[in-house]
Amino acid sequence: MPRAQCSPLLFLLTGLGWLILSAVLGLGLFLAMTLGQHVPPHYRTLHVHLSLVGGVAQLMLGVTLLSRLAYNPAHNSFPVFYAAINGATIGLLAGFWLGQPLVIGTAGLLVMLASLSLLRDVIGQTQHGALSFLPWLYGIALFALLGGLAVGEGMTLRLFSHQFIGQARLAHIHLSLIGFVTLIIVSTMYHLLPTVLKGRLHSMSLTRVTVALLPLGMLVLLAGFLLSSLWTQQAGGVIMLAGTVLYGLNLLRTWRDAGRVNNAAADHLIQAAAFLVVGIVTGMLVSINFLFDPPGVPFGNIHLIAYTHLLLVGFFLHTTFGALSHLLPTALATERVQSNKQRESYQALLTGIVERWRPVQVGALSVGTMGLAVVAALLWQFPLRSIPAQAATWISLSLLLLSFALFAGKIGLILTQRPNK
């Protein structure tokens, strides 16, 4: 009986599918909240874990496995990893929906085992050249993921006392989002953006400083959460802000050195770097707000959603759309066409599809994301059901939905576009 073929391309497509499903759920939840409807907490938990485990984590796993093919082209199917990540996603959804801690814990354990397997490969990986230090950053990111998962398991099994559950939740979120996702994206961009631009990374010195600052900032930030010290959290935020500014500056100058290339992948990736800086600055402002008792300005659920989605949508989704705009045409052409000459023309055809309506897709995602922050800001002056707040909500959600629809439609087109015989 033939084994199921679970290529890295399947990971990318499945992860994108989970991400789109999560986005639709998230748009519905945000609309319900702004209409004053009660949203049960487990719906938000489903949205977050569907996005991060089924979507973002699986996409990153697919990119990592895709890079393996350069070293071992014969090993192009990973059914165990595929079953683990998607089984974990389904298990988490079922566990949170049914309120079963044992199911949630088992699903989290599956993610931990998959991470340990990848960690073994990363630590054993040797990379030559100017970026030879980057595997260590991948290793730190995977250690952060394991730490975040371990804290999540502890909360699920109620191993933390009630007085520490707030610190544990913050540690779980930031280890997963900042320690894992952000560090993995930063590491990957140092390879991916020069490839997209057909150029060279601007500065190795800036890269080395960034690689040192981001993990250090994460550790200081984590210490601030564990000590419940807002000033320590601010120190960690300052270090991370310095690292992200240098990261964004390096990518921007790389883009400039390559002749200011305009394509879907580059536009999304450059905008993602900008949103990372904005997200870190916003996080620091939120922390400063809570230095006052009572807080300097009101901060409710809508404000929290707007702040977190500057990173979750602005940074993560721009990165996802940018990476897939480059990787999917390349992977499909490699998988479907054997001849080098025919492969190039087929890849150019797929890339042409991806480039359609590029300014609308990129602009709608950016403006829609910033619109969420505008909605939150309006609530300091207007009631939730007021015309300005409702108008800003509908405009923002419509723009985000437009960007999702355009990107999903392009993916559908390139999947059905077969090479000429």
Confirm whether 82 is domain-assigned: no
Per-residue pLDDT tens over the stretch 295-319: 888 888 888 888 888 888 899 999 9
Residue 69 above 70 pLDDT? no
**Residues with Cβ < 8 Å from 273, sequence gap 6 or more?**
189, 244, 247, 248, 251, 252
Confirm whether 88 is domain-assigned: no
**Residues with Cβ < 8 Å from 161, sequence gap 6 or more?**
none
Per-residue pLDDT tens over the stretch 386-395: 899 899 999 9
DSSP for 61-116, written as a single string: HHHHHHHHTTT-TT----HHHHHHHHHHHHHHHHHHHHT-HHHHHHHHHHHHHHHH
- What proportion of the chain, given as a percentage, has pLDDT over 90? 32
Residue 1 above 60 pLDDT? no
Domain span at residue 325?
A: 262-421
Per-residue pLDDT tens over the stretch 343-356: 888 889 999 999 99
The structural domain count of the chain equals 1
Confirm whether 108 is domain-assigned: no
Predicted TM-score of the model (pTM) = 0.89
Per-residue pLDDT tens over the stretch 259-298: 888 899 999 999 999 999 999 999 899 888 888 888 888 8
Closest C-alpha to 30, from 381, 373, 365: 373
Per-residue pLDDT tens over the stretch 19-41: 889 988 988 888 888 887 888 88
Worst-scoring range by mean pLDDT, 56-65, 213-222, 316-325?
56-65
Confirm whether 295 is domain-assigned: yes
Confirm whether 229 is domain-assigned: no
Per-residue pLDDT tens over the stretch 90-104: 998 999 888 888 888
Residue 221 above 80 pLDDT? yes
Confirm whether 235 is domain-assigned: no
Per-residue pLDDT tens over the stretch 174-201: 888 888 888 888 988 988 899 999 999 9
Dihedral over Cα of 113, 118, 121, 123: its sign: negative
Q: 79 near 3, Cβ under 8 Å? A: yes
Confirm whether 342 is domain-assigned: yes
Confirm whether 414 is domain-assigned: yes
**Which phi and psi (to 5°) does residue 386 adopt?**
-70, 160
Amino acid at position 111, single letter: V
